[in-house]
């Protein structure tokens, strides 16, 4: 039993984020608006041999939102959207991973925005190049489920999230 536990620990590798993008896309008046969030902090344990041993815990600050229009960015930080004064962090925590195909995991996560936590599912593709692990994930959430704005004829409810990270394995 002890040797089995040791195998799991050896197979699980810890990674540090080197580069990342946290992007979102939403239709506003029929036009797709693209934005991004900065200040990603993440803890990544990855085990490609046994995906269920992997874990991701990440957060970003909604105060870093950038859509290319500063007045819109400022509006999105106010109480009717992200309310950054009251809720300074958006968090994502993995619940489990299953292997979907050779280079794709299906991840179940808890996403918390404005103290509202919803379970989401996100396919995560992974690629190795030299000593860099690249993770890419995309999913769609309903902004109203998280208290982001109100119902609107102009602004879509669905928001596509795209997460990309280049990770370097930590030598422990």
Q: What is the CATH number of the domain that holds 27?
A: 2.40.128.110
Can you give the C-alpha Rg of the chain in angstroms?
Answer: 17
Query: Can you give the residue range of the structural domain that contains 120?
Result: 2-169
pLDDT at 47: 86
In which residue ranges of the chain is pLDDT below 50?
A: 1-10
Which strand (E) or helix (H) includes residue 71?
helix 70-76
Give the span between the Cα atoms of 28 and 131, in whole angstroms.
Answer: 40
Q: What is the mean pLDDT of the chain?
A: 91
pLDDT tens per residue across span 101-146: 988 999 999 999 999 999 999 999 999 888 899 999 999 999 999 9
The domain tally of the chain equals 1
What is the reported pTM?
0.89
């Amino acid at each position: 039993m002890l040797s089995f536990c040791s195998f799991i620990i050896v197979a699980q590798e810890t990674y540090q984020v080197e580069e990342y993008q946290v992007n979102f896309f939403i239709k506003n008046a029929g036009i797709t608006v693209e934005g991004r969030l900065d200040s990603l902090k993440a803890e990544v344990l990855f085990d490609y041999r046994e995906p269920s041993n992997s874990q991701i815990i990440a957060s970003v600050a909604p105060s870093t939102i950038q859509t290319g229009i500063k007045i819109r960015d400022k509006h999105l930080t106010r109480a009717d959207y992200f309310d950054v004064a009251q809720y300074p962090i958006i968090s994502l925590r993995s619940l489990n991973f299953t292997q979907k195909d050779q280079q794709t995991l299906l991840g179940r996560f808890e996403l918390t925005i404005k103290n509202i936590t919803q379970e989401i599912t996100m396919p995560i593709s992974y690629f190795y190049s030299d000593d860099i692990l690249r993770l890419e994930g995309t999913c769609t959430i309903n902004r109203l489920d998280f208290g982001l704005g109100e119902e609107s004829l102009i602004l879509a409810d669905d928001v596509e999230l795209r997460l990309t990270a280049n990770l370097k394995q930590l030598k422990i």
